[in-house]
Amino acid sequence: MATNAPNPNFRLETPEGDDRQRQVCGTCGFINYVNPKIVVGSVVTHGDKILFCRRAIEPRRGFWTLPAGFMEEGETVEEGAMREAREEACATIEIDGLLAVYSIPRISQVQLMFRARLVDSAVAPGPESLEVALLGWDEIPWSELAFPSVKWALEQHRAMLAGATGPFGNPPGTLYR
């Protein structure tokens, strides 16, 4: 059965020429280099509304998020953000620019968040969403947001609309390790 659980054959070992321990398979010598993963997503606007998705999957099932997910091989960061909007909200978007780069060392993620616009207003939940919604600022369900970085991106997006210069990094005091 396929699993991503820790493999008992792996042991910690410092490969030749390296300076830190890696998981090395004791059977075949495969080195499992683990580097931070990239999450790409966007604050997608349509007029003065923002596109939200209610998560159909764990973690944080039932909570609201922005269209975002793990970047895959063979795509650019912008293409990844566009793919996530398509997969999670059946949305076709146009990228305007980089909003923020967040480092989240505790879970080994770097999140690249873009500013984007809906090309047309047709949106619908994809397989990973329970529902999608276009919400005004006063309609945002702040207490039901899935992740801290959703709030950061929303607030920094609003700051940019008010004239602040981006792109932004982690807000002060949010560097969780």
Binding site for its own copies (CB under 8 A): 1-5, 7-9, 13, 15-16, 20, 24-25, 27-38, 70-79, 98, 101, 103, 105, 108, 110, 112, 167, 169-170, 175, 177
Return the number of the residue (95 or 134) whose C-beta is nearest its own copies.
95
Are 130 and 62 in contact by the 8 Å Cβ rule? The answer is yes
What is the C-alpha separation between 123 and 108, in angstroms, rounded?
31
CB of 67 vs its own copies, minimal distance in Å: 16
| Contacts with 47 (C-beta within 8 Å, 6 or more apart), sequence order | none
Between the alpha carbon of residue 102 and those of residues 26, 106, 148, 167, 169, the distances in Å are 35, 12, 11, 10, 5
Which residues is 117 bridged to in the sheet? 45, 94
CB of 167 vs its own copies, minimal distance in Å: 6
Return the number of the residue (25 or 135) whose C-beta is nearest its own copies.
25
CB of 12 vs its own copies, minimal distance in Å: 12
DSSP state of 115: E
Return the number of the residue (121 or 124) whose C-beta is nearest its own copies.
124
Return the number of the residue (7 or 140) whose C-beta is nearest its own copies.
7
Q: SS3 sequence, 44-55?
A: EEECCEEEEEEE
CB of 79 vs its own copies, minimal distance in Å: 8
CB of 34 vs its own copies, minimal distance in Å: 6
Return the number of the residue (74 or 162) whose C-beta is nearest its own copies.
74
Give SS3 for 158: helix
